[in-house]
Amino acid sequence: MSDHVNGAAEGTVANKVPVTITVNGRTHRADCEPRTTLADFLREDLGYTGVHLGCEHGVCGACTVQLDGSTARSCCMLAVQADGSEVTTVEGLAEDGQLHPLQEAFWNRHGLQCGFCTPGMLMTACELLADNPDPSAEEIREGISGNLCRCTGYQFIVESIQEAAPKMRPAT
């Protein structure tokens, strides 16, 4: 893309920006307004509706994705900023029809109820276990405290992450 894009003068239609982005291994190219957030771009333009919007102001964590290897809140980024990036969403966790160990553990342990916070919670838990392969319950609570859940009271989420941890640890 060019380095400067006119968003919209008063009352005119905005210029759109081409954005190229790789999501869950597939490269997409689409045009969007500069003001479009990464979350809206993933949901509306690319169809990754597993990315959920719970607050659009960077508190609830439901829109959390992996961006170039670490978690990011996709509501707190513009799509244009992610041009050329690699993104993983919840849709990219399961492979070949097999649930990811965290997905399996959340299912076993009732780590979700309505499921709205779940995609963000899973993405955060992935990073948490990568950084700390054997966390205590308190460390898990601290690690997911940027992801609000209104249904579960968190206990079964903590137990789910504990159950998944040994399965995600690299063999020693």
Q: Which of residues 108-137 bind another protein (CB under 8 A)?
A: 108, 110, 112-119, 122, 124, 127-128, 131, 137
Task: Find the binding residues for another protein in span 1-30 (CB under 8 A).
Answer: 1, 3-8, 11-14, 17
Contact call for residue 154 and another protein (CB under 8 A): yes
Task: Find the binding residues for another protein in span 46-105 (CB under 8 A).
Answer: 48-62, 64, 70-73, 75-78, 80-81, 89-91, 93-94, 99, 103
Least distance (Å) between residue 43 CB and another protein: 8
For residue 69, give Cα distances in angstroms to 65, 87, 113, 124, 160: 10, 8, 28, 12, 23
Q: Which is nearer to another protein, 2 or 172 (CB)?
A: 2
Residue 62 and residue 120 in contact, taking contact as beta carbons nearer than 8 Å: yes
Q: Provide φ and ψ at 42, rounded to 5°.
A: -65, -40
For residue 63, give Cα distances in angstroms to 60, 97, 143, 161, 167: 8, 23, 16, 19, 25
Tokens of 19: 């954005």
Least distance (Å) between residue 171 CB and another protein: 25
Residue 121 and residue 61 in contact, taking contact as beta carbons nearer than 8 Å: yes
Q: Which is nearer to another protein, 22 or 146 (CB)?
A: 146
Q: Which is nearer to another protein, 163 or 171 (CB)?
A: 163
